[in-house]
Structure 1
Amino acid sequence: MRLASALVLCLCFAGPLQAAPICGDPDTPCETATGSYHIALPEGPGPYPVLVFLHGHGGRGGPMVAGETAREATARGYAYIAPNGLVRPGRDRPSWNFHPDFPGQRDEAAFLHEVMQDAAARFDVDPKRSLLAGFSIGGSLASYIACATPKAFSAYAPVSGSFWRPHPTGCAGAVRLLHTHGWRDEVVPLEGRVIRQVAGRDFAQGDVFHAMSLWRAANGCEAHRADWFETVDGFMRRAWTRCAPGAALQFALFDGGHGVPKGWSTLALDWFEALAGPNQ
């Protein structure tokens, strides 16, 4: 009895047990087999729709889950996932292996699939309600994944980043995509630019208008000219509506430079929620 009483006293004064740290916050990434990611969750039970956002060159996922876009997404009931790019040998800032002609350390499409599977198991996110977005080079990676594997995510929303030269000759199938770009972008101009030469070849950004023609072809759109136009909340938007069943294509310009414009998350999530049914 004395031993039992002593044990009770010890437990009473020991205080509550400390919960094991949960990964995903700005300081504690969730590790997967080939990388890591951060996540912000909304209140309430899942399964949650998810916005996956790829950082630009030199960015990191940690600060992003505490940012404005993450707060707006979680307020609308979305999980917000910010994966981490890798640091290339000889470099000191993370980036993405996005260009098919310059393979890198990791298959990024396979890594993002890995992230989605891990987040579904840990946090009850719903891969069938998934929007892949990205800024700058992150937007380029989102574009290439949309082109090569249109059904990997439910929809795509690249910002200030698109294909590089040489442009793809075609895409695997119809896609649901919203491309947003600054009219005065000088880092990734709408017409693209040469960055440097690699192995005697130009490493050059592509032409966003040509990218839109590739998306129209992939979606089987009936006309080059857009079917719908709107200017509201600082965005000049156009959409192609006479396309293949299940396809969706919209282009939004804003009067600004290289960045994610104010109001983008509302624009993108409103567009995503208006789409009919899953694309998987």
Structure 2
Amino acid sequence: MIRTVTLALGLSLAGQNGLAACADQDGMCETASGGYHIEMPQAENPPLVVFLHGYGGTATGTLKNRRMVDPLLARGYAVMAPEGSERNGRQSWNFFPGWEGRDETAFLNEVVQDASDRFGVDADRVVLGGFSAGAFMVYYLACAAPETFSAYVPVSGGFWRPHPQSCEGPVRMFHTHGWTDNVVPLEGRILGGGRFHQGDIFAGLEIWRVANECADTKPTGFSTTGQFMRRHWSGCADGSALEFALFPGGHNVPKGWPDMMVDWYEGLPGG
């Protein structure tokens, strides 16, 4: 049985039944800086996956992705979908250094603490993930404040140019990306008539290797999990982890990602 906290009274997500509410309130869970939806497994003090939607997405839309949400719940993880802030008339994330807008790191800390207080999630076992613009947010938050959450699992997003000169570290990062992604290509792309430039994913991995004090640039291990081709780096700083997984699809959260990610996380020291 799964407890569901969603958008409005009477709305049910695919595979879920019953009334939607946030504790004793209708609608999304509200905090001082925004709001979120959350689904809880039938477990006490569960770990939490916070997953950030892409540009123009919504928290409701995140939880409609049952191919992602249901496996996480089945593994005993609570799933939180925060609501992005408005950027150019659409919901997104204030991720790029120097942009004006909501302090997203403070907001995400706020919603996690709220969920811990209301629902008993384990605030020490929080994995921050995101898709596309949500993954951009994951990258920049992990770069500036890697100690905020216990691990970072971006899908289909990275840094923008100019790339950061350096990142704080160490960090525990598992990046997943589609080989044929043409929205956030591995090499990056120019946006907004040249005003913005998505960065190179492999250049971003170099920044993480430096932050993690890895002894060499080459991967130290290769593996496959279903459709995923994986590579990881060891010989890095204590407490760090860095892995990259490619899949043969495009711009999406791929089938099989939740279980692969949880297996990786639970294999980490303290995971």
Q: What is the CA deviation profile of residues 8-65 of structure 1, one whole-angstrom value per residue up to 9, with x for unaligned ones?
A: xxxxxxxxxxxx974179x821000010000000013x21100000000111112322
CA distance in 2: counterparts of 1:249 and 1:85, whole angstroms: 27
User: Which of these two proteins has the greater Rg computed from alpha carbons?
Assistant: 1
Instruction: Tell me if structure 1 keeps the 8 A contact 2:225–2:260.
Output: no
SS of 1:128 mapped into structure 2: coil
Aligned counterpart, 1:220: 213
CA distance in 2: counterparts of 1:119 and 1:70, whole angstroms: 17
Gap change, CA 1:24 and 1:231, over 3 Å in 2: farther
CA distance in 2: counterparts of 1:188 and 1:23, whole angstroms: 34
Following TM superposition, by how much is the alpha carbon of 1:86 offset from its aligned partner in structure 2, in angstroms? 1.6
Aligned counterpart, 1:237: 230
CA distance in 2: counterparts of 1:71 and 1:222, whole angstroms: 38
Gap change, CA 1:24 and 1:158, over 3 Å in 2: farther
Instruction: Tell me if structure 2 keeps the 8 A contact 1:150–1:173.
Output: yes
For residues 257-268 of structure 1, what are the structure 2 equivalents within 5 Å?
Answer: 257-268=250-261
Following TM superposition, by how much is the alpha carbon of 1:277 offset from its aligned partner in structure 2, in angstroms? 1.4
Aligned counterpart, 1:192: 188
Aligned mate of 2:101, from 94, 101, 105: 105
Gap change, CA 1:261 and 1:245, over 3 Å in 2: same
SS of 2:47 mapped into structure 1: strand
Aligned counterpart, 2:269: 276
CA distance in 1: counterparts of 2:187 and 2:169, whole angstroms: 24
Following TM superposition, by how much is the alpha carbon of 1:71 offset from its aligned partner in structure 2, in angstroms? 1.3
Instruction: Tell me if structure 2 keeps the 8 A contact 1:24–1:38.
Output: no
For residues 113-262 of structure 1, what are the structure 2 equivalents within 5 Å?
Answer: 113-197=109-193, 202-262=195-255
Instruction: Tell me if structure 2 keeps the 8 A contact 1:144–1:163.
Output: yes
2:84 maps to amino acid = G
Q: What is the CA deviation profile of residues 163-194 of structure 1, one whole-angstrom value per residue up to 9, with x for unaligned ones?
A: 00110010111000000000111100001011
For residues 22-33 of structure 1, what are the structure 2 equivalents within 5 Å?
Answer: 22-23=21-22, 28-33=27-32
Aligned counterpart, 2:69: 70
Aligned counterpart, 1:79: 78
SS of 1:151 mapped into structure 2: coil
Matched, 1:34 2:33: yes
CA distance in 2: counterparts of 1:205 and 1:48, whole angstroms: 35
Instruction: Tell me if structure 2 keeps the 8 A contact 1:180–1:253.
Output: yes
Aligned mate of 2:93, from 90, 96, 99: 96
SS of 1:65 mapped into structure 2: helix
**Structure 2 spans left out of the alignment, 5+ residues:** 1-18
Following TM superposition, by how much is the alpha carbon of 1:231 offset from its aligned partner in structure 2, in angstroms? 2.0
CA distance in 2: counterparts of 1:120 and 1:166, whole angstroms: 36
Give the share of equivalent positions with the same residue, in percent. Answer: 52
Following TM superposition, by how much is the alpha carbon of 1:215 offset from its aligned partner in structure 2, in angstroms? 0.3
SS of 1:212 mapped into structure 2: helix
TM-score by length of 1: 0.86
Q: What is the CA deviation profile of residues 50-93 of structure 1, one whole-angstrom value per residue up to 9, with x for unaligned ones?
A: 000000011111232243222111111111000000223x51x2
**Structure 1 spans left out of the alignment, 5+ residues:** 1-19
Instruction: Tell me if structure 1 keeps the 8 A contact 2:188–2:199.
Output: yes
SS of 1:190 mapped into structure 2: coil
Instruction: Tell me if structure 2 keeps the 8 A contact 1:24–1:39.
Output: no
CA distance in 2: counterparts of 1:22 and 1:255, whole angstroms: 38
Q: What is the CA deviation profile of residues 172-224 of structure 1, one whole-angstrom value per residue up to 9, with x for unaligned ones?
A: 11000000000111100001011025xxx731100000000000000000010
Aligned counterpart, 2:49: 51
CA distance in 2: counterparts of 1:238 and 1:196, whole angstroms: 33
1:51 maps to amino acid = V
